[in-house]
Amino acid sequence: MNALTQPTPLDQARQLLESTLRFVRKSDDPYVISRFGDLLIRIDVAAALLKRAELIQAQGQSTAEIDVAFTEAQIASSEALLAASNAEFELTGQRTALPPSLDDPLRWKYQIVGNYRLNNVVPPRVRSAV
């Protein structure tokens, strides 16, 4: 991410997790510890899916496969951001206002991935930031 671009949902999820961590660091509450484990896994999965999409793109696979791989990464990143935002509120009582990074409904992204993987229907050429 450079200074001219908005942070991606994955970047935002990492930032929210870090700010929440500063608030509850050294907690011995099993719920807090578990919640952080869950969020870390969600963020790591999103990052791995993004790396996978970039690898698929670098390998020059089909446009449809590239688009679906990036859509999968977008879904995971957005879900991680939503989970991090909810955890921030649950654990700190505060909620950071999120920029309009989730303006692309996830329900359509799930449909794109499912239709491609199940029915081999090529997705439309629309991609937003991960």
Q: Which of 61, 45, 35 is nearest to 9 (CA)?
A: 45
**What average pLDDT does range 59-82 have in this prediction?**
94
Q: Is 118 exposed, middle or buried (0-12, 13-18, 19+ CB in 10 A)?
A: exposed
- What's the confidence (pLDDT) of residue 69? 96
Q: How confident is the model at residue 89 (pLDDT cuts 50, 70, 90)?
A: very high
What is the residue extent of each domain of the chain? Answer: 9-119
**Is residue 2's pLDDT more than 50?**
no
* Fold for the domain defined by 9-119: Butyryl-CoA Dehydrogenase, subunit A; domain 3 (1.20.140)
**Mean pLDDT across the chain:** 88
Task: List pLDDT tens digits, range 23-68.
Answer: 999 999 999 999 999 999 999 999 999 999 999 999 999 999 999 9
Mean pLDDT of 12-29: 92
Contact 9, 80 (CB under 8 A): yes
Q: In which residue are the tokens 């439309």 written? A: 124
Nearest to 77 by CA among 13, 18, 1, 15: 13
Contact predicate 50/130, CB 8 Å: yes
